[in-house]
């Protein structure tokens, strides 16, 4: 019995490095899904929020720029992150600036479909 316990513990220790870290995002940086121009919709900003380099808030993904309240974003495609939050990859109207915005930061969303990024 004691040998089996030690053998299982040794196997467990060997397997641990093969498992991904608890927070893969923190270990690997900002996830950046592939993008595509498959949505012709648009939206209006609820407030001034950061356009992000990936579909995550806070320090996980860097900021592209701060988009002011009332500014229009043109949608390209959509994704849900690992927290099941909906994000849109978009271009800021009047610019060539692209990035990710949480749908929670939009007061108006006009689209016939939420086409996923490929």
Q: Tokens 């870290």 — which residue?
A: 21
Across the chain, which has 118 residues, the per-10-residue mean pLDDT values are: 38 32 50 93 98 95 97 97 95 98 97 88
pLDDT of residue 3: 40
Q: In terms of CATH, what superfamily is 35-118?
A: SH3 Domains (2.30.30.40)
pLDDT of residue 113: 84
Residue spans per domain, the chain: 35-118
pLDDT of residue 118: 78
Token reading at 68: 């002011």
Please give the radius of gyration of the chain, using alpha carbons only, rounded to the nearest integer.
20
pLDDT of residue 16: 31
Q: ∠ CA(105), CA(98), CA(28), 5° rounding? A: 85
98-102 and 106-110 as β-strands: parallel, antiparallel, unpaired? unpaired
pLDDT of residue 28: 60
Rounded Cα–Cα distance for residues 38 and 57 (Å): 24
């Amino acid at each position: 019995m004691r040998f089996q316990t030690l053998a299982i513990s040794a196997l467990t220790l060997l397997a641990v490095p093969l498992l991904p870290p608890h927070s893969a995002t923190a270990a690997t940086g900002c996830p950046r899904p592939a993008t595509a121009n498959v949505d012709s919709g648009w939206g209006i900003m609820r407030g001034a929020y950061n356009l992000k380099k990936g579909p995550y808030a806070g320090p996980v993904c860097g900021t592209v720029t701060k988009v002011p309240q009332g500014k229009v974003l043109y949608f390209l495609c959509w994704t849900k992150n690992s927290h099941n939050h909906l994000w849109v990859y978009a271009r800021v109207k009047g610019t060539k600036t692209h990035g990710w915005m949480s749908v929670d930061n939009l007061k108006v969303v006009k689209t016939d479909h939420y086409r996923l990024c490929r």
